[in-house]
Amino acid sequence: MPELVEKALERVTRCQCDTDSGCFRCIANPRSEDRASKEATISLLNEIRRVFLSQVPVIQNFLEKDGNYEDDEQVACPSCDHIIKSNAKFCSECGTKIEENS
């Protein structure tokens, strides 16, 4: 989907036609009587693209966080001292319920 937006944006911005209503190579739809504004289309596509781009770091952060979590967040069971993941709800050794402390 981001690639499609990128391509559409490129097609509209690179088109050499000089009217705001565009031409058939960029935004004008030959099957539609509606005339879109080229300028409006570009800003709309830019907006969509910005949303896509801003979503990428969020996804990456989430994955990184999740990965680190698995590696170093460990706690000892209060009942039997068995080392378990801090996000575990119960001790895998004795079954004691683990209180969340974060």
Contact in structure between 69 and 87 (CB atoms under 8 Å): yes
Residue 10 engages Zn ion in binding (rule: CB under 5 A): no
Among 60, 79, 86, 87, binds Zn ion (CB under 5 A): 79
Q: Using the rule CB under 5 A, is 91 a contact of Zn ion? A: yes
- Taking each helix axis from N to C terminus, what angle separates 38-72 and 2-14, rounded to the nearest 10 degrees? 150
Tokens of 91: 């001790």
Single residue of 4, 40, 83, 94 touching Zn ion by CB under 5 A: 94
Render the burial of 35-74: b for 16+ CB within 10 Å, e for the rest: ebebeebbebbeebeeeeeeeeeeeeeeeeeeeeeeeeee
Q: Which is nearer to Zn ion, 53 or 80 (CB)?
A: 80
Rule CB under 5 A: choose which of 4, 23, 53, 83 binds Zn ion: 23
Is 45 one of the binding residues for Zn ion (CB under 5 A)? no
| Contacting positions for Zn ion (CB under 5 A) | 15, 17, 22-23, 25-26, 77, 79-80, 82, 91, 93-94, 96
